C-alpha cells in the first residue's frame, strides 16, 4: 500500500502530475494507493481516472471559497474544529501503508505537525517516508528557524527527499543551514501526446509570444514581464497568455493600464499543449521562483525557444544563446536584455529551436512515473 498526501488547495496543479503517473502505474500493477488531499468542490478528471482504477481518495478539511469575504474566518475556524474532532491522518494510517509520499513544496511539510507525529510515534515500524519538494524561493528564505527545525526533522525521517532541480536542493541546504544527505533529483513527467518536434512557424513581421502557466504573479512574475514589454523598443509582437489563476483580473487590468490590450490576449486553459506551439515562436517564463517548470520542458520538446529567468532548474536545461535565452534575474531590466538578445538572433531561431528540442530529449524522463515507483519500492 502506497499513501500519497497532496498539499495543494486547488483541485489540481502541475505538481500533481508526477504522483499521478506513479499511482496510475502502481494501481495497474496491483498495488493499493490511498490519496489524502484537501477538500475541494471540484474533482479533477485525472483524480476520477485514478478512482476508476481503484484509488482510495480521502479528504481533509481546508477548503475556503475564494469569495468567502468576511466569512473567511468562520470557514477557517470550522475547518480547524473538524480537524481536531476527526484526525484525517488517522484514517490514512488505518490502511497501514508501506510507503508514504508527501507531495508539496520543499518546505510545506513544516506545517504538517500531525503527519510528523504519526510518523514519529511509529518509530521502528513506521512506513517508508518520502517527500517531493517542487518549489522554493532562492531569493527569500520565507521560513522561521522553528520551521527549519521541523523541516529538517521531517527530512531525517525520510528514506529519500526528492527535488525537481539541483538549484532547489542547493537553495534548501543554504536556507536550512544543513546538508541533506538523503536528497536526490527527480524529473516531472510531461503532458504531451508526442515529443516530436513541431515545425517552426514562419518568421513573419509579427512575432507570436506565449505565456503558459498559473496566473499567480508572486510565483510566475507575469506582471514584471508586462511592464518590460511596455518598455520594449520592439513593437511587432503579439503575446497570448495561456492558463488561469487568481491574478487573472489583475493582469487584465495591468494590460489595460500599460496600453497593451491590442497586443496581449488571454486564451484561458488549453489542454493540448502541442496546439499552442503550432502557432507560437517563443515561450516567455519570467518566474520569480520555480522548481522545474513543465511549460519550459514541454516547449523545448516541441522545438520552441524559451526566454526564462535564472531561477529554479532553468539553468540546468537552458544554455543562453544556444538552446534558449536566460534573464539573469526576474527584473524588468534583465528581461529586456534577454528579449533584445533573442531578437538580435532572429535569423538563428530555427537552429536554436532545434537545439532546444535535442537537449530536452536528452534531459527529460519519458517514464517519470515508473522511475518514482521503482525508487519507492527499491528503498
Task: Provide the edge-to-edge strand list for the sheet that holds 2-6.
Answer: 56-60, 33-38, 2-6, 99-104, 128-133, 160-163, 183-185
The answer to whether the CB of 300 falls within 8 A of the CB of 356 is yes
Q: Are 365 and 371 contacting, i.e. CB atoms less than 8 angstroms apart? A: yes
> 274: helix, coil or strand?
helix
pLDDT above 70 (res 30):
yes
* Chain segment 259-268, per-residue pLDDT in tens: 999 999 999 9
Q: Are 312 and 287 in contact (CB under 8 A)?
A: yes
Cα(152)–Cα(158) distance, rounded to whole angstroms? 10
Would you state the cell numbers that stand for residue 258, as one nine-digit string?
500599460
Q: 197 with 354: CB under 8 angstroms?
A: yes
What pLDDT does 253 receive? 98
> 283: helix, coil or strand?
strand
Pairing of strands 56-60, 33-38: parallel
Q: What is the dotted CATH code of the domain comprising 2-189+366-378?
A: 3.40.50.2000
* Model confidence band, residue 126 (pLDDT cutoffs 50, 70, 90): confident
pLDDT band at 74 (very low <50, low <70, confident <90, very high): low
**Structural contact between residues 41 and 63, judged by C-beta atoms closer than 8 angstroms:** yes
Instruction: Give me the mean pLDDT over the 144-163 stretch.
Output: 97
Q: How many CB atoms lie within 10 A of CB 182?
A: 16
300-264-282 Cα angle (round to 5): 15
CA 192 to chain centre: 16
- Identify the band that residue 21 occupies on the pLDDT scale cut at 50, 70 and 90: very high
pLDDT digits (tens, 9 = 90+) for 360-374: 999 999 999 999 999
For the residues 165-182, what does the mean pLDDT come to? 98
Q: In the chain, which residues fall in CATH 3.40.50.2000? A: 2-189+366-378, 207-363
Q: In the predicted model, is pLDDT for residue 14 greater than 80?
A: yes
* Per-residue pLDDT band at 65 (split at 50, 70, 90): confident
- Whether residue 336 contacts residue 231, with contact meaning beta carbons closer than 8 Å, is answered with yes
> Percentage of residues in the chain with pLDDT exceeding 70?
96
- Rg (C-alpha) for the chain, rounded Å, is 21
Determine the pLDDT at residue 79.
63
Contact between 2 and 54 under an 8 Å Cβ cutoff? The reply is no
- State the pLDDT at residue 57: 97
pLDDT per position as a tens digit, 100-111: 999 999 999 999
Residue 9: the pLDDT is 87
Place domain 207-363 in its CATH homologous superfamily: Glycogen Phosphorylase B; (3.40.50.2000)
312 touches 168 (CB < 8 A): yes
Out of 43-52, 83-92, 133-142, pick the least confident: 83-92
- Residues 326-337: tens digit of each pLDDT: 999 999 999 999
Amino acid at each position: 500500500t502506497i499513501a500519497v498526501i497532496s498539499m495543494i488547495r486547488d483541485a489540481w496543479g502541475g505538481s500533481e502530475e508526477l504522483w499521478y503517473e506513479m499511482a496510475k502505474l502502481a494501481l495497474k500493477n496491483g498495488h493499493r494507493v490511498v490519496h489524502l488531499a484537501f477538500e475541494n468542490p471540484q474533482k479533477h478528471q485525472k483524480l476520477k481516472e485514478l478512482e476508476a482504477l481503484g484509488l482510495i481518495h480521502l479528504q481533509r478539511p481546508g477548503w475556503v471559497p475564494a469569495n468567502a469575504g468576511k466569512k473567511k474566518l468562520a470557514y477557517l475556524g470550522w475547518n480547524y474544529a473538524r480537524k481536531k474532532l476527526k484526525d484525517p491522518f488517522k484514517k490514512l494510517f488505518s490502511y497501514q501503508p508501506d510507503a508514504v509520499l508527501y507531495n508539496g513544496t520543499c518546505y510545506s511539510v513544516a506545517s504538517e505537525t500531525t503527519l510528523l507525529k504519526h510518523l514519529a510515534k511509529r518509530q521502528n515500524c513506521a512506513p517508508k517516508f518520502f517527500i517531493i519538494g517542487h518549489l522554493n524561493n532562492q531569493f527569500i528564505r520565507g521560513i522561521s528557524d522553528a520551521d527549519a527545525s521541523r523541516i529538517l526533522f521531517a527530512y531525517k525521517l525520510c528514506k529519500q527527499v526528492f527535488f525537481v532541480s539541483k538549484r532547489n536542493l542547493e537553495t534548501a541546504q543554504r536556507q536550512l543551514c544543513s546538508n541533506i544527505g538523503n536528497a536526490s533529483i527527480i524529473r516531472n513527467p510531461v503532458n504531451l501526446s508526442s515529443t516530436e518536434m513541431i515545425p517552426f512557424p514562419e518568421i513573419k513581421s509579427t512575432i507570436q509570444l506565449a505565456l503558459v502557466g498559473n496566473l499567480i504573479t508572486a510565483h510566475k512574475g507575469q506582471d514584471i514581464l508586462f511592464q518590460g514589454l511596455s518598455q520594449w523598443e520592439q513593437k511587432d509582437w503579439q503575446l497570448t497568455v495561456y492558463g488561469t489563476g487568481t491574478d487573472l483580473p489583475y493582469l487584465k487590468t495591468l494590460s489595460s493600464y500599460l496600453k497593451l490590450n491590442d497586443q496581449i490576449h488571454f486564451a484561458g486553459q488549453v489542454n493540448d499543449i502541442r496546439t499552442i506551439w503550432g502557432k507560437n515562436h517563443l515561450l516567455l517564463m519570467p518566474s520569480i521562483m520555480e522548481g522545474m517548470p513543465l511549460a519550459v520542458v514541454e516547449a523545448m520538446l516541441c522545438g520552441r525557444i524559451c526566454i526564462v529567468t535564472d531561477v529554479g532548474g532553468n539553468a540546468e536545461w537552458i544554455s543562453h544563446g544556444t538552446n534558449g535565452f536566460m534573464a539573469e534575474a526576474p527584473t524588468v531590466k534583465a528581461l529586456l536584455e534577454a528579449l533584445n538578445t533573442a531578437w538580435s538572433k532572429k535569423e538563428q531561431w530555427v537552429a536554436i529551436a532545434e537545439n532546444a528540442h535535442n537537449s530536452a530529449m536528452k534531459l527529460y524522463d519519458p517514464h517519470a512515473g515508473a522511475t518514482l515507483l521503482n525508487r519507492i519500492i527499491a528503498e
